Structure 1
Amino acid sequence: MTEFTALAHRYLDAWNETDPAKRRGLVEEVFAEDASYTDPLAAVAGHDGIDGFIAGAQQQFAGLRFTLGGAVDGHHDIARFTWHLGPEGAEPVAIGFDAVRAEGGKIKQVLGFLDKMPG
């Protein structure tokens, strides 16, 4: 389970990194080259698609940070976790749930769900 928890933290690090070069490095470190990301707002693939989607989310939610909303659960090559997005130490403005499939220590696929979004 510790491996999945570490991967979830690195995943959120990528979402929180606002320096474009550092973020791209994290995307390449965390995601497989042919990884896919699908949630109600997007379906993207590869490092370029994922990095571009994260950059867009950062513009839309400037100044907010992603944090784990609880424990990471996983088995075999699949993990799930809840995330919160909001100001540091305050009530989250968005809450989501992601299921990820890992391969070779990197994320191969993300299936995301949005539980709470700002109006």
Structure 2
Amino acid sequence: MTHIDARDLADRYAAVWNEADPDLRRKAVQDLWAPDGVHVLQPPQEMRAEALRLGFADAALVARGHDELEARVARSYEEFVATGQFTFRAAGDSSAALEDVVTFRWEAVAVESGEAAGGGLEFVTVGEDGRIIRDYQFPAL
């Protein structure tokens, strides 16, 4: 396993969600995640509660492979960044690496105020090539 620079990974991770150019965003997704990489999002509490009410025990949202990951990132970009409401950034000095695991916090920053309006915790496993194999996202408001 090569050395993982957790802060660099966290910064590149946050940057991909802010990328306006679709071609650069696609390249960033391919550079960040392995071809068969998986992104698992724990949805907000209200969405999980509704899924449970409907009889779904697992309300996690999953994107697999570069095409789905790119669509997930593009959707987030369109909803939050392109509207001029938010940008994303790695939060402070919260990143850490241990063998093939990296954790870090990120923030959604309100463009108008410059203040963090939300964020979350990322827990990722990284392959030999330094790209993300599994990505678990825990948003927090």
What TM-score comes out, normalization by structure 2 length? 0.76
Partner residue, 1:67 = 89
Task: Map Cα deviations across residues 29-78 of structure 1 (whole Å, 9 max, x no partner).
Answer: 11100000001242111111111011111121132211111221120010
Q: 1:55 to 1:79 in 2, by over 3 A?
A: same
Structure 1 unaligned blocks of 5 or more = none
Structure 2 unaligned blocks of 5 or more = 44-60
User: How far is 1:8 from its partner?
Assistant: 1.5
Q: Within 2, Cα distance between the matches of 1:90 and 1:76?
A: 34
Partner residue, 2:75 = 56
Q: Give the percent of matched residue pairs that are identical in Structure 1 and Structure 2.
A: 27
Structure-to-structure mapping, 1:19-38, within 5 angstroms: 19-38=21-40
Which structure is larger by alpha-carbon Rg, 1 or 2? 2
Partner residue, 2:57 = none
Match for 2:71: what amino acid? G
What TM-score comes out, normalization by structure 1 length? 0.89
The size of the alignment, in residue pairs, is 116
More strand by share: 1
Partner residue, 2:51 = none
Q: State the secondary structure of the residue aligned to 1:93.
A: strand
Q: Which sits farther off after the overlay, 101-110 or 80-89?
A: 80-89
Partner residue, 1:78 = 101
| CA RMSD of superposed structures (Å) | 1.6
Q: Within 2, Cα distance between the matches of 1:25 and 1:33?
A: 12
Q: Which sits farther off after the overlay, 27-36 or 62-71?
A: 62-71
Q: Does 1:110 align with 2:138?
A: no
Match for 1:49: what amino acid? E
Q: Which has the higher contact order (CA 8 A, sep 6+)?
A: 2
User: How far is 1:93 from its partner?
Assistant: 2.0
- Where do 4+ consecutive residues of structure 1 move more than 2 Å? none
Q: Within 2, Cα distance between the matches of 1:50 and 1:102?
A: 16
